Amino acid sequence: MNRLKDLQSSGLALMLLSTFFFGFKPILVRMALDEGVTPEDILILRLMIAVPLFFLTVLLMRKLGDMWMPPVEFILSSIVAVAGMGGAMLFSFYAIKYLGASVSTLVIFVFPAITALLSFVFFGEPVTSRKKLSLLISFLGIILVVIPLSNGNGFGNIAGFDPGKGLFFAMLCALCWASTQVAYQKILEKRSPVTTALMTSVAMLVFFFAMNGMPSTGLTTRAWTAVILLGTVSWYVPFFLAMYALKMIGASKAAIVQSTGPGLTVLIAGLMLGEKLVALQFGGMFLLIYAVYMIGSEKSPARADQEPSTVAIRNGGTIEPEPLPVRDE
């Protein structure tokens, strides 16, 4: 039981760090967009920077042998990587382009509610009264965030501001991201987090490079700074940490920690980009965060045939976490 608690605590800590680094993504994307970089080029350049880092990590951890998988599993994992993670990434960039960093982040944050619904469909997790209430609160929060957009209140100065397109891409992103979380919860039951992160990034890079070709490299210094940070501290580091956290605690528990992300992004966007939410939108943000807490904090009863020390953490399984690589300073 103590080992289970330690595993859960470690997973929560890793997800907290992951959420912190991911919180800078909308800001960095907005900076690159303002410098004229397209969403597709941002995505490809970000992956081109991150993939060698993941590959080096796999080599150092001696996990290359774990990358082999049966053809059917390889195809399914590639589809999840491209359509799920890749779609979520690209759609989020477009949502940021049309809505700004703050509002797009809040709208996309409906994904934990969608994750709960998908967990019911695919895993049979019951939709309890608490979850139903949290779903209602989530969508109420989205409504409060969206209402001021009808007249561009507070965001009309964003280049390319288009609430209709922004909301469309934000909801697509939320659906893709929720689907990805549910899928990776199953994939990580038998796959190493670090090799999963590498294969996901490679699959996305190959697909989007084939679709869009070589991105422009004639970027400004500000744009290159944003792209490099997107590939390292806002993708390689947090995605690596998130894979381990999901394996330890599962998607629902991870969602609780991720609820801190929007507040961080809104704060940074206000300081660095001058984006300011109105009172109604702050109310929507708090409702969204509270709804996620309600979903994630609901306890899953253990089955009668399980020993207390081997009860799975929100479908995360009893797989022992692999040690993180030690880095010499």
Task: Report the C-alpha gap between 89 and 73 in whole angstroms.
Answer: 23
263, amino acid identity: G
How far apart CA 190 and CA 219 sit, in angstroms, is 41
Average of pLDDT values for 43-58? 94
Three-class secondary structure assignment of 257-306: HHCCHHHHHHHHHHHHCCCCCCHHHHHHHHHHHHHHHHHHHCCCCCCCCC
- pLDDT for 251 equals 62
Assigned token pair, 260: 């801190």
pLDDT at position 274 is 78
- Check residue 268 and give its pLDDT: 80
Percent of the chain with pLDDT over 70: 79
Asked whether the beta carbons of 115 and 234 are under 8 A apart, the reply is no
pLDDT (tens digit per residue) in 66-111:
778 788 888 888 998 999 999 999 999 999 999 888 888 888 877 7
Of the candidates 167, 152, 43, the residue with the CA atom closest to the CA atom of residue 93: 43
* Contacting residues for 257 by C-beta, under 8 A, at least 6 apart: 12, 15, 16, 19, 245
- Residue ranges of the domains in the chain? 34-299
CA distance between the termini of the chain: 35
Does residue 315 carry a pLDDT above 80? Answer: no
Q: What is the per-residue pLDDT for 322?
A: 35
Over residues 220-241, the pLDDT tens digits come to 999 999 999 999 999 898 887 8
Q: Work out the mean pLDDT of the chain and round it to a whole number.
A: 78
Supply the pLDDT for residue 298.
Answer: 61
Query: Which of 3-12, 77-86, 126-135, 188-197 has the weakest average pLDDT?
Result: 3-12
Over residues 168-215, the pLDDT tens digits come to: 999 899 889 888 877 877 777 777 778 888 888 999 999 999 999 999
Contact at 8 Å (CB) between 163 and 98? yes
Does pLDDT of 125 surpass 90? no
Across residues 38-43, what is the average pLDDT? 96
* pLDDT at residue number 207: 96
Of 70, 99, 319, nearest to 189 (Cα)? Answer: 319
